[in-house]
Amino acid sequence: MSPKAKGADGPVEAAGGVVRRRVGRPGRRHVEVVLIHRPRYDDWSFPKGKLDDGEGFEAAALREVEEETGLACRLVADLGETRYADRRGREKVVRYWLMEADPAPEAVGFVPNQEVDEVRWLRPAEAATLLTYPHDRTLLDRLPRGRRPP
């Protein structure tokens, strides 16, 4: 891991995704997003993680989402970044992208492990009540609205 990813010379840099899927029958479809549960922290969040040495934000976001959910995704839209102090008091910046699973939006490849023990698909309003951190709830407000989101 690079010194910057560790937070030695600036903020800890990480990337992640808000993965969505459309479910239901035509004319009655709705959107769901995926959340992960991390047993180490007993929290619910969006998949994310630190950049590897020499890795860019987009590549890190795709890699982390796949590692934590088993979903191979494609980027849809940039959702910006969140900044907060991590559990060690270091500044952390996480860049997020709206993503869709490719090709099937099921966590077929997910295997519970020490880092992530559960994956849930929820409507955004349900996700907002389960998410542990306020900065994650702000990401839900950034999701495109309307009948045909990008």
pLDDT in tens, the chain (150 residues): 443 455 567 899 999 999 999 888 888 889 999 999 999 999 999 999 999 999 999 999 999 999 999 999 999 999 999 999 988 999 999 999 999 987 655 556 788 999 999 999 999 999 999 999 999 999 999 998 755 544
The answer to pTM > 0.75 is yes
Spatial distance between the Cα atoms of 43 and 37, rounded to a whole number of angstroms:
6
